[in-house]
Amino acid sequence: MGENNGSAIVRFAIGVIGMAVFGIALVIFLICLLLFTSLLHIFLPLVIVFAAVFILSCTLMNSGRRRKNVIGRLSRYVAALSDKKNVLKLDGLAAATGILPAQIRSDMRLLKRWGLHFDLYMDKSETTLIRGESVYKLYLDAERQREAREREEAERQSRLRDPETATLETFSSEGRAILDKLRAANLVLPGEAISNSLSELETTMKRIFGHIEGHPDKLPETRKLMNYHLPTTMKLVDKYCQYDTMEYQPENIAAAKADIEKALVAANEAFANFLRGLYREDTLDITAEAEVLTKMFEKDGLTGAKFDIGGDQNK
Final residue before a domain boundary, out of 136, 153, 186: 136
pLDDT at 117: 67
Final residue before a domain boundary, out of 115, 136, 157: 136
pLDDT at 233: 93
- 174, 91: one domain: no
Residues 233 and 264: beta-carbon distance below 8 Å: yes
Domain assignment present for residue 130? The answer is yes
- 188, 249: one domain: yes
Residues 215 and 202: beta-carbon distance below 8 Å: no
Return the higher-pLDDT residue of 80 and 230: 230
- 94, 216: one domain: no
**pLDDT category of residue 5 using cuts at 50, 70 and 90:** low
Domain assignment present for residue 304? The answer is no
Total domain count, the chain: 2
Domain assignment present for residue 173? The answer is yes
Taken as a whole, the chain contains a residue count of 315
pLDDT digits (tens, 9 = 90+) for 35-44: 777 666 776 7
- 292, 178: one domain: yes
pLDDT digits (tens, 9 = 90+) for 127-154: 888 888 888 899 999 999 999 988 988 8
Q: What is the mean pLDDT of residues 58-84?
A: 73
- Give the residue numbers spanning the domain of 261: 165-299
Beta-carbon contacts of residue 263 (< 8 Å; ≥ 6 apart): 233, 236
- 187, 293: one domain: yes
- 216, 283: one domain: yes
Domain assignment present for residue 141? The answer is no
Domain assignment present for residue 248? The answer is yes
- 98, 202: one domain: no
Domain assignment present for residue 97? The answer is yes
- 126, 183: one domain: no
- 255, 192: one domain: yes
Q: What is the mean pLDDT of residues 234-261?
A: 91
| Residue 87 φ/ψ, nearest 5 degrees | -130, 130
The reported pTM is: 0.51
